Amino acid sequence: MEHGTIAREIHVDASPETVFEVVSRPEHISQWWSDEALIDVVPGGSGELLFGDRATGHVALLTVVEVDPPRRFSFRWCAPAGESAVEGNSLLVTFDLVPSGTGTTVRVTDAGWRELGWDEAVLDHEYQDHSQGWDHFVPLLEAYVGGLVSS
């Protein structure tokens, strides 16, 4: 199996400005993606996404790469324990937001798989895990944005 970039694309009936807030602000991220989010939303800022609870869950550390409202938000994550997430040791997640009609096309990519140097079994497991994760969370993003604009 080729382990290239994982990409998902949806259309939401909301402005790029609204969608940018939803994909970059901790108070929104914790409503559709992680159970808790702490992020310094500036290039080079650090953050964490908590999946589950603090005692038994998983904490994903991240480093913000690009903050370009309302077009793009990106960060690096999945670096080895004790290392900062930088190019070559981590994955790059990018949310590209493109105005489309009365809404926004959201393209989510999770890239950098081959650069991590993982053995094939680990690479395949992690790639499948992330792919299934995006299959689960991207529709939740769409539903959350829909709920915001309809209220």
54: which 2 tokens?
């603090």
State the Cα angle at 108 between 130 and 146, rounded to 5°: 105
pLDDT tens sequence across 105-138: 999 999 999 888 889 999 999 999 999 999 999 9
Can you tell me the mean pLDDT for 25-31?
Answer: 97
Distance CA 17, CA 6 (A): 24
Residue 1 in this model has a pLDDT that exceeds 70:
no
Q: Token match 């959201």: residue?
A: 106
Give phi and psi for 141, each to the nearest 5.
-60, -50
Between residues 149 and 33, which one has the greater pLDDT? 33
Residue 151 in this model has a pLDDT that exceeds 90:
no
- In this prediction, residue 62 carries a pLDDT of 96
Distance CA 122, CA 141 (A): 28
Residue 27 in this model has a pLDDT that exceeds 80:
yes
Q: Report yes or no: 76 and 85 within 8 Å, Cβ to Cβ.
A: yes
How many residues can be counted in the chain? 151
Sorted by where each begins, the domain ranges of the chain are 6-150
pLDDT tens sequence across 61-110: 999 999 999 999 999 999 988 888 999 999 999 999 999 999 999 999 99
Q: How far is CA 90 from the centre of its chain?
A: 13
Q: Token match 């004790």: residue?
A: 82
Between residues 68 and 4, which one has the greater pLDDT? 68
Whole-prediction pTM: 0.95
CA dihedral 78, 59, 19, 131 (to 10 degrees): 50
CATH of domain 6-150: 3.30.530.20
- In this prediction, residue 81 carries a pLDDT of 87
Distance CA 94, CA 66 (A): 9
